[in-house]
Structure 1
Amino acid sequence: MAEIYFQVNVPTRSSVQPERCGLHVFTGAAETESEALRAAREACDAAVAAQKAGFALPRRRPDGWGAHGIRSGWVLDWKAATVAVWEHDRGFRAARPTLPLA
């Protein structure tokens, strides 16, 4: 089966100021939505571990998954994560909306 490029959107909230919230977006190749979610979480976990140990964030993996902009003190809600196929053409990439745009 050919790999597809996915976007994983994970709601995030500040543990210090809970009213501050956002969305962390991960992208990369996978064969299924569940594999995409797993790969995004692995990339995030590796980045958090490196950050806590005082090391540079790991580079993007060959399958495209990586995690940049992880904020210390922010909690990612993986149970509320959404996964969508990342549709793209030759030069511009955009995902189908998976959350309401308001």
Structure 2
Amino acid sequence: MPKPYYEVDVPIQRTDNPTTRGRHVFVGEAWSRHEAIRIAHEVYETALTASRTGREIPGRRRDGWASRGLRPGWELDWKAATARLWVDSHSWATSGGDAA
């Protein structure tokens, strides 16, 4: 049985203007919400470390997880992160079977 895909939403805010907020979204395979948040945090920290040390940010892992689009000056609030099963709104399976 393949692992389901999860979407992890992490609130973000500008460090120089905390009233400017948004969210960073991660998607990948996991067995649970807890595991999804843990993996998302892991790939983010790996990408951040690579960026800070001048190395290339790693690409997508085999399980689908990656951290692209790092935003300097934004802080992620991992304590407020949420995870849910991912539904691809562009998938033929969720759009009534019309594969355009």
Same fold (TM over 0.5): yes
Q: Point out where structure 1 has 5 or more consecutive residues left out of the alignment.
A: 95-102
Q: Point out where structure 2 has 5 or more consecutive residues left out of the alignment.
A: 95-100
Q: What TM-score, normalized to structure 1? A: 0.83
**Ranges of 4+ aligned residues in structure 1 off by more than 6 Å:** none
| Percent of aligned pairs with the same amino acid | 40
Secondary structure of 2:49's counterpart equals: helix
Structure with greater strand percent: 1
Secondary structure of 1:27's counterpart equals: strand
AA of the residue aligned to 1:21: R
Q: Assess, with a 3 A threshold, how the Cα gap between structure 1 residues 16 and 89 changes in structure 2: closer, same or farther.
A: closer
CA contact (8 A) 1:29 1:36 kept: yes
Matched residues, number:
94
CA contact (8 A) 1:27 1:64 kept: yes
1:84 deviation in Å? 0.6
Q: What TM-score, normalized to structure 2? A: 0.84
CA distance in 2, matches of 1:59, 1:86: 20
